[in-house]
Amino acid sequence: MKHRISLLISAAVISAAGLAYAQEATFESQTEPEVVPGQFIVKTSPGTDMARFSIQSLSDGVRVIDTLPEVGMLVIEAPDAEFGALSTRSLNVPGIAYIEPVYVVRADATPNDPDYPQQWAWPKIKAPAAWDIGKDSGNLIVAVVDSGVDYRHPDLAANMWKNPGEIPANGIDDDGNGVIDDVFGANFVGAATNGDPMDDNQHGTHVAGTIGAVTNNSLGVAGVNWKTQIMALKFLSASGSGSTAGAIRAIEYGIKMDADIMNNSWGGGGFSRALEDAIRAADNEGILFVAAAGNSNSNNDTNPHYPSSYNVDNVLAVMATDQSDAKAGFSSFGATSVDMGAPGVGILSTTPGGQYSSFNGTSMATPHVAGAAALVWAQNPGMSHLDIKKHLMDTAEVIPGLAGTSLTGARLDLGKAMKPGDTPPPEPQPEVCKSKAHTQIAYDEFMWSARKQVSKNDNILSVSFTLTEPMVVDISTDTSGHRIEGSGNTLVRTGVYNQANPSVMWTGSYRRMNFAGGKDDYRDISTDFSIVLPKGSHTIYWKLWVTGATLELDSGTLTVRGIPCSMGGKLSISEASTMSADRTEADQGPAARQEELGTDPMGQSTTSSN
């Protein structure tokens, strides 16, 4: 069963508040996310012929180690290259949309919390009542993106997905998908993909057992689904760590091989635009992406945990609850960034070698929801992946003690989700937007006078604005400067942030550059970054980090562009006029800005006051 729906991005006109000049601030820069040395992900521009695309002009010694045509990406290796230099060079290479490091991510490890009675979760989420209505999702494929699965486990073997186009153990890529003998899934650990996703860690097998351990077979444990198809996509190694490149390759395989649901009990690393794009590609193919909220007991609203915090429609973020329906002490949470809770403490499930163990973690909560999604979807084949997500959230049991910990403040209720009377009809998809409105520049502000000096970690500027609907926002910064103090190579870093003293940077906007010259060596300092932001008020900060030197900057601009299309449809971006930046700071009161910005083509004001 496949549900392939191309989703349309909903957008609205930005409503701008007053420009706020940031206070001079000294803060400690965040520890940079762990990366795979010398490896990078290159996203090609739309329409690029990947078969003819050449990456050699990007850097000496660069080589392509993986091609991912389903998501339009390449994984490259450039051992001696520095990311900032590669990023700068990529601007002049036709066919490159962006480049980013390959980040290291890790399984959401099991905290050392006490165990609870065996499989207490089933009566808690009313699974027996659900099983009276339906037990099987054998027509659906649930991909376990993890450390692999012990496909020989006696409580899993009968529920493993089997590639219909592959002949086992003949050493031939029978179905021509690029992987030899990928009978139960594939292994993406390291650069060379192979067809053996055997679990050498325990984590993935435990997750798989919760989703679909064979049930009513007089052996071991029960799964949410008594019968299903578990696709093993291994990208985490025996140590429980992997890379964003490996995760993207696993997601691409799942898209190619028609997975319906992806369980993602892992997280870490910085914001990866490439991983977000891969998840969006899965969304466009009607795949539900269920993700663990993380085990750091932190608020994901202010400290995002990826991939659960990516703002893509198909992401269903899950926190862990305990036997008393309280938030598990280790579980991360978020009133706007986490969707719902599920049991994640003392969860008994399958482990490699025919064994069983109890684990704790949001990793254990997530497969309860992924398994529930499969069971409900099998009973309601007319629903889309987004209908399933909404239905699970709408039918979850609201728990007073969970208020403010997620969007729903609720814990999975499989019994209610499976009741026929609680199943809504599929929601109609939005029509293609018929608005002819253009991209509207909401800000193009004179930020500082020439000769501004920067010698530490500085908040250069903050700008606040309000969105009336979720929308795509493009943030551009531009200035130039030269070194007036310091010698040798000076490292300068720049980026856009969502906090004055950020705990998480928007790594998609992060850039590095080196200054080596003196007063006559002017260098451009710029950032260009796009992100989907939710409805509501936002403040962004442009920052510079300068180490061991003083830079003198020219005047500069920060531009925030919004793409208005209130019906939620195909984005049509045209050139927008650019306003003059040669005015003084005294001219920049709210009234002056309103007169300059005026109205957009739809006749709506582009300014307001907060």
Each residue's pLDDT tens digit, 93-118: 888 888 999 988 876 543 332 332 57
Once rounded to an integer, what is the mean pLDDT over residues 6-22?
A: 25
Catalytic annotation, residues: 146, 203, 363
Per-residue pLDDT at 418 exceeds 90: yes
Query: pLDDT tens across 218-230, in order?
Result: 889 999 999 999 9
Per-residue pLDDT at 184 exceeds 50: yes
Rg of the chain taking only CA atoms, in angstroms? 25
Domain boundaries, the chain: 14-33+434-597, 119-422
Q: Which residue has the higher pLDDT, 562 or 263?
A: 263
Residues 6 or more apart from 162 whose CB is under 8 A from it? 183, 184, 229
Q: Which CATH code, of 1.20.120, 2.40.50, 3.30.460, 2.60.120, is assigned to 14-33+434-597?
A: 2.60.120
38: phi > 0 → left, psi -120 to 50 → alpha, else beta; which? Answer: left
Q: Which fold has domain 119-422?
A: Rossmann fold (3.40.50)
460: phi > 0 → left, psi -120 to 50 → alpha, else beta; which? Answer: alpha
From 344, 365, 347, select the one nearest 356 (Cα to Cα).
Answer: 347
DSSP classification of residue 194: B
The reply to whether 14-33+434-597 and 119-422 are identical in fold is no
Q: How far apart are CA 412 and CA 269, in angstroms?
A: 28
Give the pTM.
0.64
The band of 79, judged by pLDDT with boundaries at 50, 70 and 90, is confident
Give the position of tokens 């005047």.
555
Q: Read out DSSP for 247-311?
A: HHHHHHHHHHTT-SEEEE-EE-SS--HHHHHHHHHHHHTT-EEEEE--SS--BTTTS--TTTT--
Q: Which residue has the higher pLDDT, 562 or 214?
A: 214
Strand partners, 493: 512, 545
Once rounded to an integer, what is the mean pLDDT over residues 246-254?
A: 96
Can you read off the two tokens belonging to residue 280? 């969006």
From 426, 416, 422, select the one nearest 132 (Cα to Cα).
Answer: 416
Amino acid occupying residue 55: I
The mean of the pLDDT values for the chain is 77
Secondary structure class of 127 (helix, strand, coil): helix
Once rounded to an integer, what is the mean pLDDT over residues 318-324?
A: 96
Q: Which residue has the higher pLDDT, 135 or 233?
A: 233
Contact 221, 348 (CB under 8 A): yes
From 321, 551, 457, select the one nearest 23 (Cα to Cα).
Answer: 457
Q: Kindly tell me the burial class for residue 423, based on how many C-beta atoms sit within 10 Å of its own C-beta (0-12, 13-18, 19 or more).
A: middle
Per-residue pLDDT at 608 exceeds 50: no
Percent of the chain with pLDDT over 90: 47
Choose the weakest-confidence range: 74-83, 171-180, 218-227, 378-387. 74-83
pLDDT at 554 (0 to 100): 75
